[in-house]
Amino acid sequence: MNSQITAPPTDVDGDAALKQRHRTMWASGHYDRVAREIIPELGQRLVASLAITSGERVLDIAAGTGNAAVPAARTGATVVASDLTPELLETGRAEHPDAGIDWQVADAEALPWPDGSYDVVLSTVGVMFAPHHQAAADELLRVLRPGGRLGLLSWTPEGFIGRLFATMRDFVPAPPAGVQPPPLWGDEAHVRELFGDRVEDLAFDRAHVDVDAFPGREDFRAYFRDNYGPTLMAYRALADRPDRRAELDAALDALAADADEGSGRMRWEYVVVSGRRR
């Protein structure tokens, strides 16, 4: 089991280029729409599970536009919302000007805060997209005080979003060496390996969000093509390949059709991970 904090990736130039691609991806489209229209309850679900109280110091990693940071701030906690993508933070700040949140640009794999700065560290479908999982896990534990609580909400590999990424994998370039698939953060064995013996009372609670925003499979495809950064970038990469774009269309349509439980309703599985730093 992993009991030591590992060093961050050493390929500085390659890592910087990779992070810039991630910024570009999440700044593309309209992720604020996805968070607001499709999964608004997820942040509240995570915050409620952590029983955050007034005065606690809370860090939301990969906060996006504030899906979890905003409900955390409503508890009276002192909240920092961090994200690699400044555009998402600017949108969150503009949408919630009176939330009392400190919006900070920060890399989940190299957080700028001292050891033990926070009572609670959380992330809602956010830190899972950091490319180097061990580095991100080490950092979120480093800034959490001993005895502090962590809470992560991640899509599972077997759930709809996990299957979406598996579907798109055949249409995008292979990631650099060492980059791991985001849905692995929804796999219990993987998360236990990342945290090792540094976390106690580690618990995994699987649940799902009901999504009925897409009457037909084409509606799902068009919405994700236009709004969700990873899907949008996959289509952009195939701009001069109409044959491959058509294949991607068909693959996403098949995925949506398979997930349809009737009248366009889908269930997207996620897992809530909670524990305390030793």
Tens of pLDDT along 258-278? 999 999 999 999 999 999 999
- Retrieve residue 277's tokens: 């730093």
Q: Is the pLDDT of residue 9 over 50?
A: no
Look at residue 222 in the predicted model and tell me its pLDDT: 97
pTM of the model: 0.94
Tens of pLDDT along 132-190? 999 999 999 999 999 999 999 999 999 999 999 999 999 999 999 999 999 999 999 99
Look at residue 12 in the predicted model and tell me its pLDDT: 66
Q: CA of 258: how far to CAs of 60, 209, 226, 269, in Å?
A: 34, 17, 21, 15
Task: Put the strands of the sheet holding 102-105 in their side by side order.
Answer: 102-105, 78-83, 57-60, 118-124, 144-155, 266-277, 199-211
User: What is the rounded CA–CA span in Å between residue 140 and residue 26?
Assistant: 21
Q: Is the pLDDT of residue 5 over 60?
A: no
Look at residue 15 in the predicted model and tell me its pLDDT: 85
Look at residue 62 in the predicted model and tell me its pLDDT: 98
Q: CA of 63: how far to CAs of 66, 133, 203, in Å?
A: 5, 17, 22
Candidates 78, 162, 175, 84; CA nearest to 119 is: 78
Tens of pLDDT along 225-245? 999 999 999 999 999 999 999
Q: CA of 11: how far to CAs of 17, 178, 216, in Å?
A: 10, 11, 44
Residue 2: Cβ-neighbour burial (10 angstroms; 0-12, 13-18, 19+):
middle
Beta strand residue intervals within 26-77, DSSP E: 57-60
φ, ψ (nearest 5 deg) of residue 8? -70, 165
Those residues with Cβ within 8 angstroms of residue 7's Cβ, 6 or more apart along the chain or in another chain: none
Look at residue 11 in the predicted model and tell me its pLDDT: 63
Q: Is the pLDDT of residue 3 over 60?
A: no
Which whole number is the average pLDDT over 16-45? 96
Look at residue 7 in the predicted model and tell me its pLDDT: 41
Tens of pLDDT along 105-129? 999 999 999 999 999 999 999 999 9
- In CATH terms, 12-277 corresponds, of 3.90.420.10, 3.40.1350.10, 3.40.50.150, 3.40.50.720, to 3.40.50.150
- Retrieve residue 38's tokens: 């499709």
> Average pLDDT over the chain, rounded to whole?
95
Tens of pLDDT along 32-44? 999 999 999 999 9
